[in-house]
Every structure is written in structure tokens, then in C-alpha cells.
Homo-oligomer: A and B are copies of this chain.
């Protein structure tokens, strides 16, 4: 390797490294030329360090190489680590400077402060935007959330699964799926691993999780929707009810909050945001019918009885949870049957309502889940009741013929969790390369 350590590691070990020779590889982040003296800020994924090239101090060869340096040139620098009045308290006295590659065209976007450019420009030149530490931090956090997800569910006895993304039918109806030309067959991109995570539970794996892409052919132009995103999915068998599923979701949210208070702290500080609050008594669970009352009484917002919340309703319930319950999260539970998919289990005593929930995080839905109908004949009834054709779901119904345990699960939006944590304005900021109605490149 050309590089043996990251800049942040050098800085955090500076007291033992001072006076010794270090090697730094990265990009020329900022260049200040004072004639005989040249300061180069070198940036890598982990941080920035100052390198100083000085006539009379640095060798002739390094001086010449420094002349060729442009912003965003790729460099490796070797030299003594010494004290200096920089933010890091140190700098590298350049003894060797190698330019590995240099821009062949002017930069269409400045890396420093790229977050202030327009979002379309940033996404167009995303490889430059991402070099901005404010931006790369978003994706480091995304990776950390994914890691917390897997570690938490692994610790709870869940098995990771890898389900097909090429499917024969949409999860709900024919709409909002992308067709794929698959040999001589009609196929679609999976909107969710819903059917197949249920499959895995019924097939005896009992507790499963998956992180994978999902595809939604909705022509949305909102700041909260993507046509391709990553879904964090769980499904668990032998539940007593949907509260068991919520407990598993809550456990994950607590694990995220812990991570944010520890390793994630640096990223929160960059964005000047606080870690999420979760009451010691647990995330509040409020029936939708109670939410109707709260919205009307507190905010004067009327929601038709039996209807879903719109985004304003979610936002207001988020405000209520924050102000009244001291919580950044709130579960809304028992959604009406008519707004939930056919595989949802209906309440035994009130079949117009379901054992389902959404989790709002700072007023945005980030999780949806519930108990599923596992009884074959009830599932048929549910399909009928929704006016869906049982035949097109036969491959799915088949799973339920030979002993399906009671089960439930949840799907969580990775990008939305990151977006709400850092209080980003647009979900596209939390997706490295977003796909929407306008974008299939870069």
C-alpha cells in the first residue's frame, strides 16, 4: 500500500509521532503559495493535515513537484511531523512530495463548501461533492447505522437473508413497480422483500433480517421519496402480537441512539444536532384513533376517521411527541384495514383496524410494520376483501399451506434514518447516487 495510515490516526497519535517521519496520502485540499513557502492542506477520508514546502528546507525535487500541484491533485507526502500553530497543532515538513494524479480539467464544483451549492449541481458532480468532509460524514453515518442494524439483530438471534430482487408480482398491486425484460417472462423489480422475508420465517429460519435495495416506480417529486433506496428489513416468527415486533424495532433505535452518543458524536457535532431522545419508559405507542383526537384538539387539524395521516399529520404528531413526551420517536399503532396491505393482520375484535404500526422519527415515518396474517383461509379472505386476484398471488399463498407460524416484521428506510438524524432537508442528500425521475447517472 502507498499509504500506511489515515491522517486522523496520525493526528491522534501526534505525541508519540512528533519528530518522526510520517507519510500522508490524499488530495490537495487547499494550497497557499507565499513564494518561498507553500502550505498544502492534504485531505483524506479521515481528516486534514498541513504540509509545508519551504525553499532551503525541502529538497529541490519536492519544490518542483509542489509547483505542479493543483487543487484535488492526488499526493503522497513524507516528512517530519512537527509542532505548528494549526488547528491540529502539527504539520508535516515536506521531504518528499509525489503527485500521483492531477485534474485534467478545471473543477466544476469546489470541494470546500460544496454543501452550499445547489443540490442538482452537487448530484451532477457527486464525486467532488463527496470529498467534502461534511458530505462524506453522511455516508460514514449511513454505514454505521447499517452496522448497528446487523449487530443488533444478530445479537437477537436473527439470520441474514438474501432475497431475490427480480420478482413475478408487486407486493401490493400491479402499480408502482418497474417492469424488467427478463428473458421471455414478465418480471418486476421488488418493491420490498416483504413476501420473501415472510417466506424465510415460514421456511423455518424464524428470525431474519436483510439490507437491500428496493424499487418504487412512484413519480414522486418530494424531498422524502426516492425511486431506489435501501431498506432495513426484519421479520420474526412466534410472536405473541405486534408489540413484540415494536420491541425489536425499539431495541434497534436504542442501539442507534447509543452509537450516536459514542462513535457518532463527531458527526452530530459537525451538523450541530443532538442525539435522539428516547424516554426511559420506552417509545410511546399511540393508537391512530387517539392521534386523530390529539391532532384536532391540539393543532386544529381534522383527519377523517379511518384515514391515514398525511405528512403534515406526521409532522404534528412528531411535534407532540417532542414537546409532550420528550421523545424524538413515536409509534402510531392500529391503522385502518383499508389503508394497509392485504397481508396485514386485522384486529380480532375490530376487523376494520389492524395490528400495524408506523414509527415516526422527528415527525417523519421511518418504519412501517405489523403482524401479518399467517392463516391460509384468512389470507384468501383478505385478498378478496381488497378486490385482489388470488391467482396472481398463488405463489405467495402456497407458503401458507403447510404450517406458517404467527409472525410479523418491519421495514425501515436507511436513508430516512440518516436524514432525520442529521436533520437534512432532502433525502437525496442521504443517498450517494440517488435515482429519481430525472436521474440515472452518474
Chain A residues at the B interface, C-beta cutoff of 8 Å = 1-3, 6, 25, 27, 43-45, 72-74, 76, 100-105, 107, 126-131, 136, 139-140, 142-143, 146-147, 150, 154, 157, 159-168, 178-183, 185, 187, 189, 196, 199-200, 202-207, 212-213, 215, 217, 219, 227-228, 230, 238-240, 244, 374-377, 395-396, 398-406, 414, 431-433, 435, 437, 440-442
Contacts and interface: CB of A to CB of B under 8 A. Distances in A.
B442 A200 contact: no
Contacts of A405: 25, 74, 100-101
B433 A168 contact: no
| A203, A204, A396, A403 — most chain B CB neighbours (10 Å) | A403
Q: Which 10 A-B pairs have the closest CB atoms?
A: A130-B203, A131-B204, A143-B160, A395-B441, A3-B238, A127-B203, A72-B403, A2-B238, A103-B402, A179-B181
Nearest to A433: B164
Given A45-B204, A167-B440, 18 more contacts: A1-B240, A45-B207, A100-B406, A129-B203, A139-B159, A140-B159, A143-B159, A143-B160, A147-B154, A163-B432, A164-B440, A166-B189, A166-B215, A178-B182, A183-B219, A187-B440, A189-B189, A399-B442
A377 B127 contact: no
B435 A166 contact: yes
A402 B183 contact: no
| A398, A399, A402 — most chain B CB neighbours (10 Å) | A402
B404 A101 contact: yes
A154 to B, nearest CB: 7
A238 to B, nearest CB: 4
A202 B442 contact: no
Contact of A162 (B185, B230, B404): B230
Contacts of A205: 45, 130, 136, 139
A194 to B, nearest CB: 14
Nearest to A404: B101
A431 B139 CA distance: 30
A405 B164 CA distance: 35
A165 B229 CA distance: 10
Contacts of A143: 159-161
Nearest to A374: B101
A2 B240 CA distance: 5
Contacts of A196: 432-433
B442 A395 contact: yes
Contacts of A432: 161-163, 196, 200
